[in-house]
């Protein structure tokens, strides 16, 4: 438990990465698997993750991210996106997947299917997008935790022009919209942000016991 808490204390939003240190293939796969295994409402996973490796795209994204150096200096840059095609077809595909993996009939899952559709159809298109974006943030939380526990540094990024990022990555073609980005790698010894004390409210200021 102590090591877990110490790893959380050690993590921070890394502003300057060591460009000479790269994540190994195993470390990258661990982070990808974390995103895949993160929980989501209904288990529906209404999102996709864009792993950007192309140098020219990263340069364009850096501009869209208000020239934040993490975009091009990090070892791994991920754009976490929510799906815009959340509909009956998506639900049916998910039901089919459950049937295949758990070896149960699709008919036995009809109640679950109906419940999902009712929940989605009860929301406006804007509310569906807000709901899907919240699911993305659950995945982001798991990603940041996995990184911290494996001594990998990270910087979640909301400061970017979403329309520009969507256009650069042609996200409309994938029925996606960007929600948040995350740069991962290893902190530079020159990152002044690493030297700052972590500031958090005390337990009694944040936790209410009833």
Say if residues 183 and 157 touch (Cβ distance below 8 Å): yes
**Buried b / exposed e across 173-201, counting CB within 10 Å, b at 16+?**
eeebbbbbbbbbbbbbeebeeeeeeeeee
How does residue 68 score in pLDDT terms, banded at 50, 70 and 90?
A: very high
What is the per-residue pLDDT across 98-144, written as a single tens digit (0 to 9) for each? 999 999 999 999 999 999 999 999 999 999 999 999 999 999 999 99
Q: Which position has the token pair 């070892």?
A: 75
pTM attached to this predicted model: 0.96
Q: Which domain holds residue 61?
A: 2-206
Query: What length does the chain have?
Result: 210
Sign of torsion over alpha carbons 55, 29, 22, 17: positive
What is the CATH number for 115?
3.40.109.10
Q: For residues 156 and 65, what is the distance between their CA atoms, to the nearest angstrom?
A: 12
SS3 of residue 40 by DSSP: coil
Neighbours of 170 (CB within 10 A): 9
Average pLDDT in the 6-31 region?
A: 97
Residue 144: what pLDDT? 98
How does residue 56 score in pLDDT terms, banded at 50, 70 and 90?
A: very high
- Count structural domains, the chain: 1
How does residue 30 score in pLDDT terms, banded at 50, 70 and 90?
A: very high
């Amino acid at each position: 438990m102590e090591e877990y808490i110490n790893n959380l204390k050690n993590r921070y939003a890394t502003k300057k990465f060591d460009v000479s240190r790269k994540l190994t293939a195993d470390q990258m796969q661990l982070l990808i698997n974390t995103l895949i295994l993160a929980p989501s409402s209904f288990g529906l996973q209404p999102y996709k993750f864009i792993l950007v490796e192309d140098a020219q795209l990263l340069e364009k994204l850096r501009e869209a991210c208000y020239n934040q150096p993490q975009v091009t200096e990090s070892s791994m840059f991920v754009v976490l996106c929510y799906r815009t095609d959340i509909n009956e077809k998506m639900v049916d595909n998910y039901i089919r997947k459950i049937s295949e993996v758990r070896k149960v009939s699709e008919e036995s899952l009809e109640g679950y299917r109906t419940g999902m559709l009712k929940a989605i159809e009860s929301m406006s298109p804007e509310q569906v997008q807000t709901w899907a974006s919240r699911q993305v943030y659950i995945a982001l939380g798991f990603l940041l935790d996995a990184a911290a526990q494996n001594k990998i540094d990270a910087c979640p990024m909301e400061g970017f022009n979403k329309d520009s990022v969507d256009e650069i990555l042609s996200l409309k073609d994938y029925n996606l919209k960007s929600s948040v980005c995350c740069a991962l790698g290893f902190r530079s010894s020159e990152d002044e942000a690493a030297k700052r004390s972590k500031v958090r409210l005390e337990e009694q200021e944040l936790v209410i016991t009833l």
